[in-house]
Copies of this chain bind each other. A is one copy, B any other.
Amino acid sequence: MTVTEAIQKMDAYEEAIYALNHACSVLYTDGATAAPKESWKGRGKTLGYLSGQMYKLTVTEENEEVFRTILEHRDECDEKIARRAELNKETYDDMHRVPLDEYVAYEELLNEADAVWHEAKLKSDYAMFAPYLEKMIAWQKKIAKLKDPEKPVYDVLLDMYEKGVGTAQLDQFFATLREELLPVIAKVAAARQPDTAFLKKLYPVEGQKKLSERVMEMEGIPFDRVTLGETEHPFTSGVNKWDERITTHYHEDDVMSSLFSVIHEGGHALYDIGSDDDLQFTCLAGGVSMGVHESQSRFYENLICRSLPFCKALLPVMREIFPEQMKGVDADMMYAAINASSPSLIRTEADELTYPIHVMIRYEIEKKIFADEVTVDELPALWNRLYKEYLGVDVPDDRHGILQDSHWSGGSFGYFPSYALGSAYGVQMLEKMEKDIDVWGAAENGDLRPVTAWLHERIHRFGSLKKPQEVLMNAMGEPLDAKKYTAYLKNKYAKIYPGITEA
């Protein structure tokens, strides 16, 4: 096979994979938003068939030759061709170890696990979900062993979400977070809390929808390429730069929940749709790793939109939509209120300071699961014990405990650390960004396009062309430094809770 032939075959292969991924993505998004409740009964068959097709197209002897041929001649090839072959080869390597019937069976298990988890969470019935969790964990262990029998299972899994970052680095990262943040969290918990009563007033859904639109506008999200839907659990899903969906949930007694969900998912969306035109419809379109992805979403959510300058931009918009609820509120009050911190139960609703501890708890639990140090039955007790130990909170039931996140039910083990890594990456990006552009002027104007342009230039446009570490160096200019992250948090919270520095 010549390189030219190999490239043609890879083009055709990726076009087919694009189409199948596109179909699965729309089936998923539609299933979570517009589809009738009972429609799941006919969706599993279709998703099973499509994922079977993806497998059959990927695991062929020819493909092995195609990708190998290109990689053997990578010096003669365009950078994009070589990188595509590299990523396709990785997918091939992962997939070909599993027989087709097992692959499809696992896809069907995931489909069912998701439905069961939704119900189990609603009923706070862990026993209902446990058998599925057991099976998924067993599968992950098996696959990880096939992939790399030498490496600890959890390191193999972590590598899927943030290449090159394993337990050695994460143990150190979380140790720093623990040492630096737990004392601050304790002090903040004991301090006088800012007034948040105005945020707990009734904010009707119609007004919240208007607010969503306005902040998407401020974030610079193009409505002709990104739409907003409603789901119980917010998510982002996209297939190309012209077709991206984000979702949120509205709680009338918690206006900030949806607002920051929209901003967060909007950050994911901006990254996804930012890939260069010539990466579209190939495996290089879209974000390169979950750590980098979360760095973008949490950058907008926390570093920019939970800042005092952005509060100054947000305030008039909120006053316009909710004049009664916002009576007597100024930017400083809003800033203090949206950053109020106290140990809590739910990760997605946690404040910026306690958030990484929620992630650390999940990291410790997953590490134990894949080191065979805890059984599935023992997980709720372990979860509750760690919440008590680190955050001092009592978990009242599994709905507010181990059943809260959707990740495990979707087969994602090793994903959680991305959130904390992403937050830390963001702090170092911000430091560099501040040297180049007037970040806080943009935030105060409520026009974040300069921020997005900066991120676009250093991260978004590359899609998966450059490796995560290259992209991060582009945007951070230095390696990860957990101390910068903790220093940022300590500094921010010392200003919001002035009492804590004196204690």
Residues of A that sit less than 8 Å from B by CB: 15-16, 18-20, 22-23, 26-27, 29-30, 33-43, 45-46, 48-50, 53, 223-227, 229, 239-240, 242-245, 280-281
Contact = CB atoms under 8 A, between A and B. Distances in A.
B34 A30 contact: yes
* Copies of the polypeptide in the assembly: 2
B36 A23 contact: no
A219 to B, nearest CB: 15
Contacts of A33: 34
Contacts of A34: 29-30, 33-34, 227, 229, 245
A-B CB proximity, top 10 nearest: A19-B49, A39-B243, A23-B23, A38-B242, A42-B240, A37-B224, A19-B46, A22-B46, A41-B242, A38-B224
20 contacts: A19-B45, A19-B46, A19-B49, A19-B50, A22-B43, A23-B26, A23-B27, A26-B27, A30-B30, A33-B34, A34-B34, A34-B245, A35-B243, A36-B227, A38-B224, A38-B243, A39-B242, A40-B242, A41-B243, A42-B242
Contacts of A244: 36
A53 B50 CA distance: 11
A283 to B, nearest CB: 15
Nearest to A281: B45
Contacts of A224: 36-38
A54 to B, nearest CB: 12
Nearest to A21: B46
B239 A36 contact: no
Contacts of A45: 15, 18-19, 22, 281
Contacts of A26: 23, 26-27, 30, 35
Contacts of A50: 19, 23
A409 B10 CA distance: 34
Contacts of A15: 45, 49
Contacts of A240: 41-42
Contacts of A38: 224-225, 242-243
A46 B30 contact: no
A280 to B, nearest CB: 7
Contacts of A42: 22, 239-240, 242-243, 280-281
Contacts of A30: 26, 29-30, 34
A329 to B, nearest CB: 29
A447 to B, nearest CB: 21
Central interface residue in A38, A45, A53, by most chain B CB within 10 Å = A38
B19 A226 contact: no
A25 to B, nearest CB: 10
Most buried by B among A23, A27, A223: A23
A38 to B, nearest CB: 4
Contacts of A36: 223-227, 242-245
Residue among A36, A41, A229 having the largest count of chain B Cβ atoms under 10 Å: A36
Contact of A46 (B18, B37, B49, B53): B18
Nearest to A38: B242
